[in-house]
Amino acid sequence: MTASTFKTIEKPAIDKFDVTPNLDRDNVREFDWQDLYSELDWLPGGGLNKAHEAIDRHANGSKRDKIALIWEGKNGEREDYTFGQMKEETDKFANVLKSLGIETGDRVFLFMDRLPELYFAFFGILKAGAIAGPLFSAFGPDPVKDRMIDSGAKVLVTQPDLRRKIAGIIPELFDLQHIIIVNKDGRDPAPIDTQDLDYYAEMGKAPSEFSIVNTSQYDYSIMHYTSGTTGKPKGAVHRHQAAVQQYATGKWALDLHEDDIYWCTADPGWVTGTSYGMMAPWTNGVTQLIYEGGFRASAWYEQIQKHKVTVWYTAPTAIRMLMKAGDDVPKRYDLSTLRFTASVGEPLNPEAVVWGESAIGMPFHDNWWQTETGAIMCANYASMAIKPGSMGKPIPGVELGIVDDNFEQVPAGVDGNLVVRPNWPSMFHGYWNNSSMYNSRFKGGWYMTGDNARVDEEGYFWFVGRSDDVINTAGHLVGPFEVESALIEHPAVAEAGVIGKPDPIAMEVVKAFVALNDGYEESTQLRNEIMRFVREKLSTGVAPREIDFIPSLPKTRSGKIMRRLLKARELGLPEGDISGLEED
């Protein structure tokens, strides 16, 4: 990806926002976050709570009757909630948790589709001082089990269909005390199991006023599990103070203004869906659309038209799918309300940035961050010329670097490890139960992001790739180990190696190489059966899209599967140094 083939997109000069420091200035390190902390409302007792900053400060002020949430259900249902109503619903849920004995620091997990009740429960959890753990509703039983066991969650809020999907793992969740079932509009005909609690019945009994627990800015608020190369996914824990960076980047990187209608297409099971599908718009008092339905090009354009969306934050795979659907589809809709579009999660190819200009009248503004950073770190701002293919420049108050393996900064134009100077406000503050893994991410005075990148002479950052074996499929990180572990649970599979195979739409798809146990023969039927087996355990997005049978897997002398070699062979690339390869 080079800048030379795509012209820089110049921007007209625009006014700087009230709270925005001069984003054009070179030395962003002079910026002082303290200035922005004073823009938060803080709790009467001097503490900080994300729910207060996102909901109550508006409900208690002039935005009480302003619409916070426009919900469109998958069957076309519509519900609107003002900040005042959001306060009431979230207060009630906090009271439900209190009545169940939930205390500061307890983990309460959410395994739900994008229903308004997911958002009420989420902020109710924060108000009660507990830690919210949202899980992607497409997950199969295994990822839910791993995350629930590791976090020791005491309460699970879910839906009838999703509860049935994971029924088999419930007896293994020894810390779980309560399951709260949301049967939205009685969508599910089966009665709620007597051992579970009915969300609406509990909410009906709960008082509608709650005094938020006086959490400090350093208390934990949210945890999201993220995949690494080895071991199971790790729970990255965030503190309430992340609110300040989510608030600031809502203005700087997403250009949020008072009268916007904002739509973030990410699911709250992933960090974008909480930091930018909850915190950024609502700390800025902005109305946002939550669309429960899945991806369909025409349905998405229709959402923009119908709800008069002005700011749209989406992901490269979705943009590539929109491109594939054709340029004539957006022409059938009135998209004239759109004013700013942004993208995150994977590399945004320059063609997609430029396509935005021709098809919807404006380029997509790429930005970079990750679960651990909690908020946007590098962005193409509204006020900045876009170099298509670049992730933009670091936000004020954040120092990014490109270093070699000795942690020395490399010159502009040279590839290296993308690193961040620690202690930005939304920095994660631990991997749950895994301090050694957490500590291993900080080296030579930097936080190691796991990405490779380079910076050009003008300070624009360019993504190069991952420095580990983690797969990014459609913007979701997949740890190869997790898929390999599921594969070898199938009786036919002796060993398995998993790689990311390049894909024109999803960037990478999961590909597995499998060696069979004695007594099993390769066949299409067996391949399909293994794929189905993993899909049901994990989820469709994570299960291998392709499986190749091979006699044995290349391993190092210490027995580690050489995924790098599998990938090189798959792509027809040089195999590199294979001196550590096991000799059979």
Strand, helix or coil for residue 82: strand
d(CA 379, CA 460): 9
d(CA 212, CA 91): 8
Range 401-404 contact pairs with CB under 8 angstroms and sequence separation of 24 or more: 401/446, 402/453, 402/454, 402/455, 403/444, 403/446
Strand, helix or coil for residue 517: coil
| Sole window of 79-87, 125-133, 150-158, 363-371 interacting with ligand AMP (rule: CB under 6 A) | 363-371
Among 85, 314, 417, 449, binds ligand AMP (CB under 6 A): 449
Q: Residue 290 or 348: which CB sits closer to ligand AMP?
A: 348
- Contact status: 271 vs ligand AMP (CB under 6 A): yes
Q: What DSSP designation does 56 have?
A: I
Q: Residue 150 or 346: which CB sits closer to ligand AMP?
A: 346
Q: Residue 98 or 320: which CB sits closer to ligand AMP?
A: 320
| Sole window of 142-150, 191-199, 202-210, 368-376 interacting with ligand AMP (rule: CB under 6 A) | 368-376
Q: Residue 315 or 498: which CB sits closer to ligand AMP?
A: 315
Nearest approach, Cβ of residue 475 and ligand AMP (Å): 7
Write the CB contacts of 515 (distance below 8 Å, at least 6 apart in sequence).
Answer: 493, 494, 495, 496, 549, 550, 551, 552, 553
Among 56, 72, 117, 366, binds ligand AMP (CB under 6 A): 366
Q: What is the residue type of 449?
A: T
Q: Note whether 451 and 466 are within 8 A (CB).
A: yes
| Sole window of 238-246, 255-263, 301-309, 362-370 interacting with ligand AMP (rule: CB under 6 A) | 362-370
Considering only residues 311-350, where is the footprint of ligand AMP by CB under 6 A? 344-348
N-term to C-term CA, the chain? 40
Q: Residue 85 or 371: which CB sits closer to ligand AMP?
A: 371
Q: Residue 93 or 463: which CB sits closer to ligand AMP?
A: 463
d(CA 483, CA 66): 45
Nearest approach, Cβ of residue 189 and ligand AMP (Å): 36
Among 477, 506, 516, 534, binds ligand AMP (CB under 6 A): 477
Phi, psi of 465 (to 5 degrees): 165, 180
The residues facing 9 across adjacent strands are 386
Q: How many residues bind ligand AMP (CB under 6 A)?
A: 20
Considering only residues 380-439, where is the footprint of ligand AMP by CB under 6 A? 391
Q: Note whether 308 and 260 are within 8 A (CB).
A: no
Q: Residue 419 or 516: which CB sits closer to ligand AMP?
A: 419
Q: Using CB under 6 A as the criterion, what x/- string covers residues 207-246 for binding ligand AMP?
A: -------------------x--------------------
Nearest approach, Cβ of residue 146 and ligand AMP (Å): 16
Q: Note whether 176 and 154 are within 8 A (CB).
A: yes
Q: Residue 159 or 274: which CB sits closer to ligand AMP?
A: 274
| Sole window of 30-38, 95-103, 181-189, 449-457 interacting with ligand AMP (rule: CB under 6 A) | 449-457
- Contact status: 451 vs ligand AMP (CB under 6 A): yes
d(CA 341, CA 571): 34
Nearest Cα neighbor of 16 from 257, 233, 343, 287 is 257
The residues facing 226 across adjacent strands are 234
- Residues belonging to the chain: 584
Q: What DSSP designation does 169 have?
A: G
Among 349, 380, 472, 539, binds ligand AMP (CB under 6 A): 472
Q: Using CB under 6 A as the criterion, what x/- string covers residues 130-159 for binding ligand AMP?
A: ------------------------------
Helix/strand/coil percentages in the chain, nearest 5: 30, 25, 45
Footprint on this chain of ligand AMP (rule: CB under 6 A): 226, 271, 344-348, 366-368, 370-371, 391, 449-451, 463, 466, 472, 477
